[in-house]
Amino acid sequence: YDEISTDALADNFAEGEIADLEAMRVKGLIKINANSVKVVPGEKLAKKLIVVANIIDPKAVEMIAIAGGESTQLVEG
């Protein structure tokens, strides 16, 4: 897993954007060959984002929701 914080998402995505694996790769936030990512809580998240990741820390889910965004954790299998 590559890890990314809610701070990095807030710094690199605009309000309402979808922050999924492909978008994170394109922005250079995770390795180009990464096929899974874990979102961890940071200091802030004041933007409404749609976050899609393999694992999202419960505190990060809470931060995303408080900012008015949505989070989707991908089910592996």
Give pLDDT < 50 ranges for the chain.
Answer: 77
Q: pLDDT at position 1, please?
A: 87
Number of residues that this document lists for the chain = 77
**What share of the chain has pLDDT > 70, as a percent?**
97
Helix (H) or strand (E) holding 24: helix 21-26
Average pLDDT, the chain: 94
Q: pLDDT at position 44, please?
A: 86
Give yes or no for a contact between 62 and 39, defined as CB atoms under 8 angstroms apart: no
Give yes or no for a contact between 73 and 67, defined as CB atoms under 8 angstroms apart: no
What pairs with residue 73 in β-bridges? 53
Nearest to 19 by CA among 33, 45, 76: 45
- Rounded to two decimals, what is the model's pTM? 0.92
